[in-house]
Amino acid sequence: MAKRDDPETIGRRVQRLRREQGLTQRQLAEPAYTPAYISTLEAGRVRPSDEALRHVAERLGVGFDELATGRPAHLATDLRLRMTEARRTLATGESEKAAEQYARLLAEAEEHELVDVQAEALLGLGECALETGELESGRQFFERSEQALADAPLPARVPALRGRAVSHYLAGELRYAVYLMESTLDELNRGGLHDPDALLLLYAGVIGPYMDMGAHARAAQAAEFALALAPQAGDPALVARMHRSVARTLLAEGRIAEADASLAKAAELYRTLQLRTELANCHWMRGYVCAQNGELERAEQELRAAQSMLSAKRAALYTSQVAVELADVLHRCGKSEEAADLLRNVLGDLSPERGAVHAAAAHRLLGIIAEDARDTETAEEHYVRALSLLERAGAAGDLADLCRLLGDLLRRTGRVEAAMDAYRTGLGHRTAPGTTTLGPAPAQPPL
């Protein structure tokens, strides 16, 4: 039951409603109470019992909760229905319209002090911000959602915390994203808070940062735990997202058929649930799988489908990231000029604070294209910019390869000492991928 207002507020509300309906204090009081009691109640000098309030509410023709709290009847139910509609709007990729719906829900929830609805609306606004690439705004919404649920059990705060971690990840802050998710997993598992949805959300979420950091063993372990938790999860969209994340680890292990099968499961769930943006991400991942398997024509088709769907839904950051991977496929198909044009167009939408890993990939590929055209000065400039982005992000998984490219270029142009420095930097990141940036693995769930 919602918390009651103070006696003075309730008294003023009773007086206002009585006068609006043209009733006297005697008419409101009869037959169970006296006019003097109603006068005392309206003055806020008595705390009415539930029984008295039910009598007054019945005489005034309003609900008990509305009289006690000021919240209109059926408000909570109405807000829940509208929250479901906002989630559906976001799922179909209309992030701007969804943000408007969530903002109205947040204003009403704040007006009526409905904390759980406030937290959910803030979470939705954070997800909308991630869709449109507004990472700082998204992070702030997720933080406010966490704060609203400060007194709730940890599993209830996990969606907001995971959202905050994703915003750091997309901003190129891989280590901090991993820290947030690992420390929460540790707290959940060590504290016996084995909520399947919360654990699955975190294990699936941490796979991407692990892979980019070169911590492939941890990514594989997280994928193993996620697959084991999936049958217990209650949210099919969460299970679909898990299959999409797990495909990365399968691909890294050379298990291409299994990766493709995992993505097929995810795509089928997304189609059933009509989650259009997530389906676009699935096309994106399948394009990546095809590219790794040398199926370049199919890879181009999948990536173009993803780019078209994301662009139509104004998911600017994700659209730019897909474009980088499409450019790689185009270059491998011999369409280097088209690839370079595409990369130059999207680099303005990527930065060290926004899609750092893909910005580095764009510079790396532009460097390779420049080398092919014998423009070593431009190639070196792109390699150096990519190296700076990857070092800042802590993306050890790609640093070694980039250092090799830069070292080879420097050696060919006669700068042997500089080339040796580049090779040493790459070897330093290659020696023990991931172990220099991660602490002990978090406690394991009981599976």
pLDDT (0 to 100) of residue 430: 52
Task: Show the low-confidence residues of the chain (pLDDT under 70).
Answer: 1-3, 73-74, 76, 273-275, 397, 428-443, 446-447
**The pLDDT value given to residue 349:** 83
Q: Which of 347, 409, 418, 417 minimizes the C-alpha distance to 377?
A: 409
Dist. CA 375–CA 363, nearest whole Å: 14
Based on DSSP, count helices (H) and strands (E) in the chain, helices before strands: 23, 0
pLDDT at 431: 44
Dihedrals phi, psi of 422, to nearest 5 degrees: -65, -45
Q: Which two tokens stand for residue 55?
A: 């009598």
Return the pLDDT at 131: 86
Q: Whole-prediction pTM value?
A: 0.76
Burial 196-205 (b: 16+ CB within 10 A, else e): bbbbbbbbbb
CA distance 56 to 64: 9
Res 1: pLDDT: 45
Other residues' Cβ atoms within 10 Å of the Cβ of residue 158: 25
DSSP state of 395: -
Spatial distance between the Cα atoms of 303 and 309, rounded to a whole number of angstroms: 10
pLDDT at 275: 66
Strands of 103-197, DSSP E: none
Query: Would you state the pLDDT for residue 73?
Result: 61
Q: How far apart are CA 303 and CA 284, in angstroms?
A: 5
**The predicted structure's pLDDT at residue 145:** 96
DSSP secondary structure code for residue 351 in this structure: B
ω into 31 cis (within 30 of 0): yes
pLDDT attached to residue 433: 41
Residue 433 and residue 397 in contact, taking contact as beta carbons nearer than 8 Å: yes
| pLDDT at res. 286 | 83
pLDDT of 107? 92
- Residue 376: exposed, middle, or buried by beta-carbon count in 10 A (0-12, 13-18, 19+)? middle
- Cβ neighbours of residue 118 under 8 Å, at least 6 residues apart? 106, 109, 110, 145, 148
d(CA 78, CA 56): 25
Q: How many CB atoms lie within 10 A of CB 304?
A: 16
The pLDDT value given to residue 437: 40
Name, in order, each residue with C-beta under 8 angstroms of 259's C-beta and a sequence gap of 6 or more.
247, 248, 250, 251, 289
Radius of gyration of the chain, Cα coordinates, nearest whole angstrom: 28
Compute the distance between CA of residue 402 and CA of residue 422 in angstroms, rounded to an integer.
9
